[in-house]
Structure 1
Amino acid sequence: MARIALRGFTGESPRTEPYYLPEQAATVALDAAMRGGSLTPFRANSDPVVVFETNRQTIYLHGAEWLAWNTDADPVPGPVAQDRLYISFANTAPIIRVDGAEYPLHLGRPGAKPTLTRQGTFDADTAELVAYAFTWVTSLGEESGPSPVSAPILWSPGTTITVGSLPATPPAGRLVTQKRIYRSVTSTSGATELFFVAEIPATDVTYIHDIATAPIAEAIPTADFNAAPTNLRGLTGLPNGFMAGFAGKELFFSEPFQPHAWPNKYRQTMNDTIIGLAAFGTVLAVLTTGNPVTLQGMHPDQLTAEKVEQPFPCMSKRGIVDMGYSAVFPSSDGLVSISSQGGQLISDSIWTREQWLALQPTTFIAARIGTFYAFSYIPLGGGARKMAMIDPASPQPTLLPVSDGSSAVYTQISSGNSFILGTDMRSVRRFDNPSSAKRSFTWRSKPFRLPFARSMGAIRVDARAAAGETMTTRIYADGVLRHTTTRINEPVRLPAGEFTDWQIEMTGTATVMQLAMAQSLAELG
């Protein structure tokens, strides 16, 4: 008895010789979504939700507003009460976006050193050395690190100190509205620290400090604050309110809940040039031109680094995707999943290295769509971009090609909706739009080789079809189309003829649960 039964359909595995594929695997699986083991098509994309006037490379939905840039960009919501978006770029300085306006992220320390003069009756017996510094304060509540500390001056009770040489013009375009004045205090142990005494308008050039009316208050909270580097790339949000970014081999971290401040004391230097970052849980994956590195911890000064022993160089920054439990990225040998347990090549069963390199992994642009890693690429030899998907969580991942040629892929975390930027680089459509008609998928089985030539007498396709949905099944024998049927949920007799190789192709919009083909109607089951 010869019988072929298919259920629990899967996608393509180009690496494997078709005859050796598992029974449920496909040699072609275009636009076929595998949901719960059934074979069903993706839906068509929506009409454009936005069309930009000029070309774009990165898209992002911020609330109800579409933002886009004609470069690689990394938008990250700020860990602050106000709605702010922090954005880094491939070749320009990072910015903050607030209420539709954009400002530089860089908030540098004041460069001017204050000068001091003393007024009043001086008592040398009670005198002590004091010094002053100041910071910039913005309307966003940000405060810079301190200026250079003034030369010290002797002060005694009853005298006042005039702090002068303060700049009249604050940094342009950075919403600086105030200066904060700090005075040094030396403890009994000999340690000197700055303490707050006053806040004055940013344009004031002097301040007279009388300790009787403006007593010493809290210690300066921004002593270690440095500005974000102007070449900072790859902004990535982490738990506990801090961000990461990189430049070259250097890794930078912001102060928790202070994304304008990037203390030098948190910097780390990698052995290899950093390509991109991904965060999942309390882990930051640093993907480089050599071995990946994972850092784990809840505060920038408590991060523990561990090098992944396998050399998995990252081939495309835009191909890095946070999958929630791990990060997936294209390496020189295939797709790699990296987690707190290390790195693992997950596409080894899908492509040979030669097949993988033919996808040109340096061209990958990817995003998470549901549980899938969805990627766009330019195949070797050029031509239009193609798109495909892989489920990294599957014990045996397979390839699901999609008939879209996207220039960018993006999923909004809050809604779970996925969008693609068309090859025109201007129009954005929702992918697999729930209210759109179903696409027509094509799924072709492996060739089933029988021990000797047999006649297959009947086929049955169990499918669920709503009004207007169709299914066409084609039966090939020894490489030649032998029969075509559009009937489902009932046995269909096949023409007589004995053949060794049998293959089944289904095309349509219905959902297929299972299929059986046998020598006789009775054997269909």
Structure 2
Amino acid sequence: MIGLTTFLGEIPRVSPRLLPDGFAQRSVNAKLERGALTPFRKPALHQTLGADAKTIYRLESGAWLSWNADVDVVPGPVAADRLYITGDGAPKVRFGSTTWDLAVPHPGNARPTVGLRGMNEFITADSTEILLAHGRTNTSAGLGVTISISVQFNTATVSITHPTGLTTAQAQTLVNGLRYRAGGTALVSGQRTVRIIRIKDNGGQTLDANRNKIGSDTRTMDDVGTIVTVIGTAGTPDPYTLPPAAPQSGGNVSGQNDPPTLTTTGLNPSYSAGDAAVAMFSGTAIDTVEASQTIIQLDVQIEGLANAIIDPNTMQSITYAYTWVTSLDEESLPSWISAQVLWSPGQNVRVSNFATPPSGRGIDTIRLYRSNTSASGITDLYLIAEFPVGTGFFDDTVDEIPLQEPLPSLEWDQPPAGLTGLTAMPNGMMAAFAGREVYFCEPYHPHAWPSKYVITVDAAVVGLVAFGSTLAVLTTRQPYIVQGTHPSTMASEKAEVDLPCLAKRSIVDMGYFGAYASTEGIVTVDNQGARLVSQKLWTQEQWRLLGATTMVCGQHNGRYIMSYDGPGAPLQRRCAVVDLTGDQPYVVQTDWTPDSFFYHRGVGKLFFLQERRAIYEFDAPAGAYATMVWRSKPFVSPSFTALSRIRIDAADAGGSVFEVRIIGDGLQVHAVTAKNRIVTLPAKRMSRVYEIEVVSDFEVFGIWLGNSVEELAAAAA
């Protein structure tokens, strides 16, 4: 007697007569997940696309996206419903119905302009204007004098020097040409006391304690000066409380021989907003006393500056940078750092000259950062303000605006244009690759792909698959296992097995492991490494006929589904379900020819694309049963016999096709359509080798073939 109560799939590697019990020579459209012989349900058509496609993706709304390219689509680890896409040109992000390039433009070298707020004050010497800011220096084009500025509190000292000296006539012209100008957002009313405090010629020398000759003839002066009255902009309040003027020294420098003399007339000008620079002195007379000597230094002191509160005890050097932020709260790399500004408590800083971002990326906000140096000497940038793009300037009231979080995006590089293979990982991470380099995004910031996280492998990457905190990097050589919970802690190890990945689209996330097509068969990879799992299914010769380089694969109920170009000419697309769940894997063929798969994890459904436009649901619950074909292994009797009775237990409900064929010595001898009862078979011919083939769209639970009613009744009990 022959009894079939367990139904399994094909093992192409094993000769049909040597198949273990329950396995099939041929299994088509059979869903063998419960032991019974159950047909798959027919695919249900969900949508027909208007253009050819190679990749499909189903939105939560049920709508479909498609691309005529090999594209990777991953939902973002962010609060909003965003999709991240690689393979369709440069990496992209989709929100709602809008798609942007993923890379966020950044200001680059468009550094901001900084200056103390309210007004900037300038002095002109030898037709060269210079800002009255601490540490500024310039050299005039005319006489070649060097103009240097030092500031303390609200007093600036302007030192004008010449390496070989000016004639008295040149020096007189220089003093008469000194001019004052103010500019900025709002002039601060007040008086500027301008004095010439020191003049020095190249004659005379002073001896030091060792009687070495040092110094030159120098005279200091107390009362050689002028008053410049600054008239503030009408209606603009003066927000500053000026500190007292620095005290002046007096008298000649002792020990000098005939220092030069200087007399001049102070013009006491007034200055209003928008005026040209005003002259401060006229009728200057300078005498070196000794002939042939030249003037090598003039020092001018300006008291009462509005913003020049440089207190050596509290002075800080601060800088600024800014970033662009999109409507999706994606922050760019920062601009270059601004010039330093020397700031003392009580001063405000105006930051301006923010570059205009390009259109088309949704950039609508600027974030401004200010430097701060910790007690340990580490300088970082901290957020101080956020304002709309198009804002012309920001006035930083340093004393009042607290520092917020540090700049996060200092190393947030843009994704490379050729990035592909996008893969989701835990802890807000994503991975992708370009060439031999594997990239990781900044956790929870999928627009940022810092180069410091890149891992380089020794062969071209074909694709990636993630499971838990492990990423398998599948290459044209050995696979790599990369593990970690943060991009900065990722460690890679090469699996010492020659199992290259032959097709990126054969890579499938199976849950706790990945699977892909290699040179010798199907490989599974997990955090323990990679191993060939299909050696019990196919010989290498058989596997090579399956066109592994053409495979497009998916998964359904834990089974690996592969679509491929079968052998022969013309090429025919084929599809098989590979069950890897047991000790002995097996294969079930199908009638469908998918071009692409999409597994919707949220609902546990597998969809596939057929003929480039039609989207179907695989084994759709509402679909009718497909017609399955299942043929048993050959059963060999020691002698010729004519089996005369059969019982087939099958479901009463099903479709319209039910036939069980009895094959003896290669020829069909019976075809049975009755079920759930013992059927007597007419005597036809005797055979030694029997096979049973089921063609049905009904579920079959068991088949018994024998010679007596009692034998079959006992077996089926």
Q: Under TM normalisation by the shorter chain, which class is it?
A: over 0.9
Match among 592, 595, 605 for residue 417 of structure 1: 605
Partner of 1:9: 7
1: CA distance between counterparts of 2:18 and 2:392? 81
Aligned residue for 2:549, secondary structure, equals helix
Partner of 2:190: none
Partner of 1:397: 585
Partner of 1:110: 107
Partner of 1:303: 490
1:443 to partner: Cα distance = 0.4
Instruction: Report the AA paired with residue 128 of structure 1.
Output: Q
Structure 1's 247 and 468: CA in aligned 2 closer, same or farther, altered over 3 A? closer
Instruction: Report the AA paired with residue 347 of structure 2.
Output: T
Partner of 1:75: 73
Once the two structures are superposed, residues 21-59 of structure 1 have per-residue CA deviations (whole angstroms, 9 ceiling, x without a partner) of 11211111011111310001111111x321111101111
Once the two structures are superposed, residues 250-288 of structure 1 have per-residue CA deviations (whole angstroms, 9 ceiling, x without a partner) of 111112111112122211111211111111122211111
For the 8 Å contact 1:256–1:299, the answer to whether it is kept is yes
1: CA distance between counterparts of 2:22 and 2:325? 64
For the 8 Å contact 1:109–1:227, the answer to whether it is kept is no
1:236 to partner: Cα distance = 1.1
Once the two structures are superposed, residues 381-419 of structure 1 have per-residue CA deviations (whole angstroms, 9 ceiling, x without a partner) of 452321111122222111111100111122211111221
Instruction: Report the AA paired with residue 530 of structure 2.
Output: G
1:432 to partner: Cα distance = 1.5
Q: Which shows bigger deviation, 240-249 or 213-222?
A: 213-222
1: CA distance between counterparts of 2:55 and 2:654? 39
Residue 37 in structure 1 maps to residue 35 in structure 2: yes
2: CA distance between counterparts of 1:171 and 1:398? 56
Structure 1's 468 and 165: CA in aligned 2 closer, same or farther, altered over 3 A? closer
Residue 500 in structure 1 maps to residue 497 in structure 2: no
2: CA distance between counterparts of 1:123 and 1:279? 58
Aligned residue for 1:239, secondary structure, equals coil
Partner of 1:347: 534
Once the two structures are superposed, residues 49-85 of structure 1 have per-residue CA deviations (whole angstroms, 9 ceiling, x without a partner) of 2111110111111112111111111111111111111
Q: How does 1:201-240 map to 2 (within 5 A)?
A: 201-240=388-427
Q: How does 1:149-168 map to 2 (within 5 A)?
A: 149-167=337-355
For the 8 Å contact 1:374–1:409, the answer to whether it is kept is no
Aligned residue for 1:107, secondary structure, equals coil
Partner of 2:315: 127
Residue 429 in structure 1 maps to residue 616 in structure 2: yes
1:217 to partner: Cα distance = 2.7
Instruction: Report the AA paired with residue 651 of structure 2.
Output: R
Residue 59 in structure 1 maps to residue 50 in structure 2: no
Partner of 1:24: 22
For the 8 Å contact 2:654–2:699, the answer to whether it is kept is no
Once the two structures are superposed, residues 225-249 of structure 1 have per-residue CA deviations (whole angstroms, 9 ceiling, x without a partner) of 2222221111111111111111111
For the 8 Å contact 2:575–2:591, the answer to whether it is kept is yes
Aligned residue for 1:93, secondary structure, equals strand
Equivalenced residue count is: 519
1:496 to partner: Cα distance = 4.7
Provide TM-score, normalisation by structure 2: 0.70
1:121 to partner: Cα distance = 1.9
2: CA distance between counterparts of 1:97 and 1:331? 33
Q: Which shows bigger deviation, 223-232 or 155-164?
A: 155-164
Match among 90, 93, 116 for residue 90 of structure 2: 93
Partner of 2:46: 49
Stretches of structure 1 that go unaligned for 5 or more consecutive residues are none
Residue 139 in structure 1 maps to residue 136 in structure 2: no
Partner of 1:489: 676
For the 8 Å contact 1:32–1:40, the answer to whether it is kept is yes
Instruction: Report the AA paired with residue 4 of structure 2.
Output: L
Percentage of identical aligned residues: 39
1:468 to partner: Cα distance = 4.8
Instruction: Report the AA paired with residue 379 of structure 2.
Output: T
Partner of 2:464: 277
Q: Which shows bigger deviation, 233-242 or 495-504?
A: 495-504
1:467 to partner: Cα distance = 5.9
Aligned residue for 1:354, secondary structure, equals helix
Partner of 1:451: 638
For the 8 Å contact 1:296–1:303, the answer to whether it is kept is yes
Aligned residue for 1:228, secondary structure, equals coil
Partner of 1:241: 428
Once the two structures are superposed, residues 178-198 of structure 1 have per-residue CA deviations (whole angstroms, 9 ceiling, x without a partner) of 111111112222211111122
Instruction: Report the AA paired with residue 15 of structure 1.
Output: R
Partner of 1:267: 454
Partner of 1:179: 366
Aligned residue for 1:190, secondary structure, equals coil
For the 8 Å contact 2:654–2:698, the answer to whether it is kept is no
2: CA distance between counterparts of 1:182 and 1:482? 88
1:502 to partner: Cα distance = 1.1
Match among 456, 464, 486 for residue 651 of structure 2: 464
1:103 to partner: Cα distance = 1.1
Aligned residue for 1:523, secondary structure, equals helix
For the 8 Å contact 1:457–1:496, the answer to whether it is kept is no
1:140 to partner: Cα distance = 1.1
For the 8 Å contact 2:655–2:698, the answer to whether it is kept is no
For the 8 Å contact 2:625–2:655, the answer to whether it is kept is no
1:221 to partner: Cα distance = 2.2
Instruction: Report the AA paired with residue 399 of structure 2.
Output: A
2: CA distance between counterparts of 1:30 and 1:211? 76
Partner of 1:200: 387
Once the two structures are superposed, residues 311-336 of structure 1 have per-residue CA deviations (whole angstroms, 9 ceiling, x without a partner) of 11111111111111111111111001
Larger radius of gyration: 2
For the 8 Å contact 2:423–2:430, the answer to whether it is kept is yes
2: CA distance between counterparts of 1:59 and 1:358? 28
1:469 to partner: Cα distance = 4.3
Residue 522 in structure 1 maps to residue 703 in structure 2: no
1:212 to partner: Cα distance = 2.8
Residue 258 in structure 1 maps to residue 438 in structure 2: no
2: CA distance between counterparts of 1:154 and 1:35? 76
Match among 621, 628, 632 for residue 441 of structure 1: 628
Instruction: Report the AA paired with residue 47 of structure 2.
Output: V
Once the two structures are superposed, residues 337-373 of structure 1 have per-residue CA deviations (whole angstroms, 9 ceiling, x without a partner) of 1111221211111111111111111111111111211
2: CA distance between counterparts of 1:108 and 1:393? 48
Instruction: Report the AA paired with residue 403 of structure 1.
Output: D
2: CA distance between counterparts of 1:184 and 1:224? 17
Q: Which shows bigger deviation, 49-58 or 180-189?
A: 180-189
1: CA distance between counterparts of 2:335 and 2:97? 31
Instruction: Report the AA paired with residue 431 of structure 1.
Output: F
1: CA distance between counterparts of 2:357 and 2:535? 57
Aligned residue for 2:403, secondary structure, equals coil
Aligned residue for 1:113, secondary structure, equals coil
Provide TM-score, normalisation by structure 1: 0.95
1: CA distance between counterparts of 2:99 and 2:703? 57
For the 8 Å contact 1:107–1:228, the answer to whether it is kept is no
Instruction: Report the AA paired with residue 103 of structure 1.
Output: W
1: CA distance between counterparts of 2:564 and 2:358? 43
2: CA distance between counterparts of 1:467 and 1:198? 69
